[in-house]
Amino acid sequence: MHGHPFSPAWCRVSASWLLPGILLGSLLSLLLSLLLSTVLAWCAAQRRYRRREGNARAAALLQALPAAVIGTDRHGVVRYLNARAASLGGLPSGQGVGASVAQLLPLFHDGAPIDMACQVRDCVTQQALLDVSRGAVLLRQSDGARVDVQYSCAPLAHGDGAVLLLHDVSARRHAEQQLEFIAHHDGLTGLPNRLHFQIRCEHAIAYARRHRSLLAVLFVDIDRFKPINDSLGHDVGDAVLAQFAQRVQQCVRKVDTVARQGGDEFIILLTELHAAQDAERVAGKIIAAIAAPFVVKEYSLSVAASVGIALYPDDDDDVPALIEKADLAMYAAKRRAPGTLLRYAPRMQVQSCSRAILETALRHALERNEFMLHYQPRINLQTRTMTGVKALLRWKHPEQGLMMPLDFLPVLEESTLILPVGAWVLATAVEQARCWLQEGHCLTVSVSLSARQFYQRDIARNVGAALAAAGVPGHCIELDIAAGILIDRNYNCEQILQQFRQLGMTICISDFGTGEASLKLLRRFPADAVRIEKCFVDELGRDSEDGASMARAIVAMARTLGLRTIASGVENAAQLALLSDMGCDEAFGYLLGRAMTPADIAPLPGNAISAGAN
């Protein structure tokens, strides 16, 4: 029994070990419980930390977003908003929570007010995204500012509310509007451009067709503008164009449209007219307004406006056709006289077609060497010997034969072709003078300069280069310049003439007495001779004394100023005798010698020429 497990001795021994074991188990259980609670507390703390970190990151992200963010409940009451949303609504940071989103954001779309709370409710109910990309405007209550916005509304899960995202797109809208303006307006004058004009014209024609009313298209061109641009520079030319646009706008109503066609051309749309005379009255106002000098920097510039008029529905019912016919009428007005107006007439279409064909042929004429110079002898009336020649342009047309200047020179002068053709004339005349010099004949060759040539920048330098290239002294060339060119105050004509004189060339003023030129002009400008025009010479020997009186006055005036006189177009002996008696120095005309080729001129120098020689 001693060793039995239930013997009293064994029980006493076991009991002595049982109490410490129980105590140890309790201690372990307590330690485990403490450890578990510590771990659970640590995990909870970590979860709270991560939640706070997540909330902080979310809050930071919400504030950093480049958009206004607003969270609402399902009824559109604001729960939270970032700083951009508060700023967009004109509120201090932190305010706005608890207010209705409709009160916070007074939005309009295409001019109509938007109920944002209603849109939020619809978004939550339908669980659908709402996106408004264009046309939304926020009128900020704090300062009344107009802000262009783009916004979207997205529902939260379980219908708890919605999130609004708004972008301020005012800068982008402004850039778009600028691009739209640039696409439809002229950058220099700010006027509508050709494209915008055509759109307005189409709308106006549609309105006129419905109401059976009248409208007009006016085509306006600035006369004498190119010489301003060429001689004074594009800055001065641009200033003239800007002032021109302002003056034209002051002559029309707000319902009318003034547009820049391009260059120095403008087009005008006049709507709701009662009669054709209404358009003519407006054109007259424009011409009068342009007549006053344009003051740019130190220059006082004079220009004129030629105006062509086409009417709907009388002349056409198509926009391009109306513009074209107004353009034709403008060119017809310009040919008649600068600063005039004309209404379109069907005959202008035929004239324009003929002119276009002629201009095309003239362009090819220079390339194909179809131009040639003939020379008409100029005679000293005292010695009856030839002192020089007048260079005259001829066109050897491949089909029509030899054409005279009257048949094509107006087209040359109206286009830019006069510049290359004029340069060719000058170079050819200088080369011919060189040939005669080499043959021992010192002849003065008279060459006419057109207005476009004279106003060309560096014209004196170009002429000097032609003389230098041919090795011809300046005194062998005489420049024939119309008085009408010199009276234009837009250019420093005196300085240009002085430059010609420094090259050794002589200056003859032509067309004196036929326009506005006066004795003051002869005294002011450095000239060597004055030409008596054919219209005055034709009157010599007739019953009328007007022509003879004018010729005598020019001779006397020139003699007083120390200038030579040259009579043109002498056709009979009576005219020649009267001119000699008056004291005229030189003359040319069919009586004294027809225009001829250089080969026919060669034998004449040094020989006396009798009246009537041909």
Query: Are 560 and 523 spatial neighbours (Cβ–Cβ below 8 Å)?
Result: no
198 and 88 in one domain?
Answer: no
Asked if the structure places residue 179 within a domain, the reply is no
- Per-residue pLDDT, 488: 64
Instruction: Classify residue 487: in a domain, yes or no.
Output: yes
User: In this predicted structure, what is the pLDDT of residue 614?
Assistant: 45
Q: Are residues 451 and 558 in the same domain?
A: yes
Task: Provide the β-strand partners of residue 216.
Answer: 270, 311
Are both 325 and 368 inside the same structural domain? no
Number of domains observed in the structure of the chain: 3
**Pairing label, strands 371-380, 386-397:** antiparallel
Residues 319 and 401 in one domain: no
Domain closes at, from 321, 345, 369: 345
Q: Residue 614 domain-assigned? A: no
Q: Are residues 438 and 340 in the same domain?
A: no
110/233 same-domain check: no
CB-CB neighbours of 511 under 10 Å? 17
Report the DSSP pairing between strands 341-343 and 299-301: unpaired
CA–CA separation, 402 and 397 (whole Å):
6
Residues present in the chain in total: 614
* 514: its two tokens: 């036929």
Among 580, 561, 560, which residue's Cα sits nearest to residue 570?
580
Query: Residue 189 maps to which CATH number?
Result: 3.30.70.270
Q: What CATH number has the domain bearing residue 447?
A: 3.20.20.450
Q: Is 584 helix (H, G, I), strand (E, B) or coil?
A: coil
Where a domain ends, among 104, 138, 173?
A: 173
Q: Residue 524 is which amino acid? A: R
CA 64 centroid distance within chain: 46
Running DSSP on this structure, what letter comes out for residue 312? E
Coil, helix or strand for 171?
A: helix
In a domain? residue 522 = yes
Whole-prediction pTM value? 0.55
Q: How many CA atoms lie within 13 A of 498 on its CB side?
A: 6
Q: How many CB atoms lie within 10 A of CB 90?
A: 17
For each successive 10 residues of the chain (614 residues), what is the average pLDDT? Answer: 52 55 65 60 61 55 70 87 79 76 80 83 86 71 75 82 84 81 86 92 93 94 82 85 94 94 92 92 94 87 91 91 92 86 85 76 90 95 92 91 86 86 95 92 92 86 93 94 75 85 93 62 84 88 69 90 93 92 94 90 56 46
The predicted pLDDT at position 228 comes to 80
DSSP label at residue 156 = P
What pLDDT was estimated at residue 287?
94
pLDDT in tens, 54-89: 555 655 556 656 678 888 888 888 888 888 887 777
Q: Which two tokens stand for residue 304?
A: 């004129």
Please check whether residue 211 lies inside any domain of the structure: yes
Q: Which residues on neighbouring strands pair with residue 257, listed in sequence order?
A: 269
Same domain, 135 and 221: no
Per-residue confidence (pLDDT) for residue 484, from 0 to 100? 78
Q: What is the pLDDT of residues 425-440, one digit of tens each?
A: 999 999 999 999 998 8
Residue 7 lies in a domain: no
Query: What is the C-alpha separation between 535 and 405, in angstroms, rounded?
Result: 18
Angle 341-345-346 from CA coordinates, rounded to 5°: 155
Q: Give the span between the Cα atoms of 307 and 288, in whole angstroms.
A: 12
Residues 206 and 137 in one domain: no
Q: Could you tell me if 538 and 556 are in contact, meaning their C-beta atoms sit under 8 angstroms apart?
A: no
Chain center to CA of 294: 18
* 3-state SS class at 514: coil
Q: Are residues 340 and 370 in the same domain?
A: no
The enclosing domain of 116 has a CATH number of: 3.30.450.20
Q: Are residues 312 and 375 in the same domain?
A: no
Q: Is residue 493 part of a domain?
A: yes
Q: Which of 123, 139, 173 is the last residue of a domain?
A: 173
**Confidence (pLDDT) at 180:** 79
The confidence score (pLDDT) of residue 139 equals 66
| pLDDT score of 66 | 65
Nearest to 449 by CA among 463, 434, 465: 463
CA angle 129, 125, 85 (to 5 degrees): 55
**In terms of domains, do 81 and 210 share one?**
no
Identify whether 6 is part of a domain.
Answer: no
Say whether both 234 and 152 belong to one domain.
no
Structural domain for 362, as ranges: 356-601
Nearest to 393 by CA among 407, 379, 380: 407
> By C-alpha distance, which of 138, 141, 142, 129 is closest to 168?
138
